[in-house]
Amino acid sequence: MTRSLTIALTKGRILKETLPLFAEAGIEPLEDIFTSRRLLFDTTVDGVKLVILRGSDVPTYVRHGAADVGVVGKDILLEFGAEGLYEPLDLAIAKCRLMTAGFATARTAGPRLRVASKFVNIARQHYAAQGIQADIIKLYGAMELAPLMNLADEIVDIVDTGNTLTANGMVPLGHIADISSRLVVNKAAMRTRHRSIEKLIYDLSQAVERRDQPS
Ligand code: PRP
């Protein structure tokens, strides 16, 4: 009997790298995800469905079992926690770094450093571990604007090419973590849907390994 398996994917940049990897593992949506307005897709594998979510919602869907498996950035797992989830595979896609950044010449005005980020938990832990007293300011996007507008002295953000920082006159200051997308699995589903999930992990890990081989 084919058991259904629902896989939650993170939309945006990660999705562009996830779909080719899943295709290499034999799973392809039956419709073009990028042109369709649907959020739930059947695939070339009977019973396997893809649901497209914001990254920060993927752990929630998987933790509650609304999706069995998810693909999500390590930054989201570090920020929101990975309780209730197994993290069996590094998919080695959407690689980037989580960094502190700011102007090359420190412009701290007050006694406490002001740090803007959407990763408030990571930022709080990072500066506390360095013994630096920091006021963390929650933002939802365009972190690079905060030092330019004198809202913050530094930011904690994802750095990929570094072009966004350069374009805004800033430099990376401190490395917090290397980031890539991870496969996460609901703990109960790992038992009840063991065979289909084991097969998915195996097929994806083979696809990741094949990419590692020199061509
Ligand atoms: C991310 C991040 C930076 C940018 C870094 O934003 O917040 O702004 O990418 O990339 P770079 O080093 O190659 O310039 P993204 O475009 O993913 O949008 P977001 O702000 O909505 O997360």
Residue-averaged pLDDT of the chain:
95
Residues 189 and 83 in one domain: yes
11 & 88 share domain: yes
What is the dihedral angle through the alpha carbons of 35, 38, 39, 44, rounded to the nearest 10 degrees?
A: -80
Q: What is the mean pLDDT of residues 66-71?
A: 98
Q: How far is the CA of 159 from the centre of ligand 1 (A)?
A: 7
Q: Examine the domain organization and report whether 81 and 133 are in the same domain.
A: no
Q: Domain holding 129: CATH number?
A: 3.40.190.10
Number of domains in the chain: 2
Domain that holds residue 33: 5-94+180-212
164 ligand 1 Cβ < 6 A: yes
Does 101 lie in the same domain as 64? Answer: no
163 lines ligand 1 (CB under 6 A): yes
- Let me know whether 134 and 59 are in one domain: no
Rounded to whole angstroms, the maximal C-alpha distance in the chain is: 66
| CB of residue 162 inside a 6 A radius of ligand 1 | yes
Q: Indicate if ligand 1 lies below 6 Å from the C-beta of 174.
A: no
**Rounded to an integer, what distance in angstroms lies between the CA atom of residue 115 and that of residue 135?**
6
Closest Cα partner for 5 from 153, 182, 151, 189?
A: 189
pLDDT score recorded for residue 108: 63
Q: How far is ligand 1, taken at its centre, from the CA of residue 215, in Å?
A: 30
- Predicted confidence band of residue 86 (pLDDT cuts 50, 70, 90): very high
Contact present, 8 and 53 (Cβ < 8 Å): yes
Of ligand 1's listed atoms, the one at least distance from the Cα of 163 is 14
Residues 41 and 66 in one domain: yes
The per-residue pLDDT for range 17-53, each reduced to its tens digit, is: 999 999 999 999 999 999 999 999 999 999 999 999 9
pTM over 0.85: yes
pLDDT band for position 109 (50/70/90)?
low
